[in-house]
């Protein structure tokens, strides 16, 4: 069951993406929106408390920074079994046993 907080974050990100991609052709806009939302669902547990606000604040700089963080976080989760994040400090901690 999805938490209320998680649902609110998903709705905020969806609304922002739909506005931000409105100038793209419909098919591309829908595809971009869906891919970002799928990525967000997987990434959310790693997001710090400022992620959603900075992703959706309208600043191109913070959007690019947070999008890159979302991408890297999901790539790390694809590669490693234990990826975590704290609200401060490094964005990600990867535990890797040789």
Mean pLDDT of the region 44-67: 90
Confidence tier at 44 by pLDDT (50, 70, 90): very high
Helices 4-20 & 26-43 angle (0-180, nearest 10): 150
pTM: 0.81
pLDDT at 1 over 60: no
- What is the rounded average pLDDT for all residues in the chain? 85
C-alpha angle with apex 12: 7 to 16, nearest 5 degrees? 145
Dist CA 96 CA 23 (whole Å): 42
Q: What is the pLDDT of residue 5?
A: 58
pLDDT tens digits, 58-79: 888 888 899 999 999 999 999 9
What is the DSSP secondary structure assignment for residue 58, as one 8-state letter?
S
């Amino acid at each position: 069951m999805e938490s209320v907080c998680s649902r609110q974050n998903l709705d905020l990100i969806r609304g922002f993406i739909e506005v931000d991609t409105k100038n793209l052709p419909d098919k591309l806009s829908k595809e971009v929106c869906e891919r970002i939302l799928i990525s967000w669902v997987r990434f959310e547990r790693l997001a710090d408390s400022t992620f959603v606000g900075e992703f959706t604040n309208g600043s191109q700089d913070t959007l690019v920074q947070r999008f890159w963080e979302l991408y890297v976080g999901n790539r790390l989760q694809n590669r490693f079994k234990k990826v975590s994040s704290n609200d401060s400090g490094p964005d990600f901690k990867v535990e890797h046993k040789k």
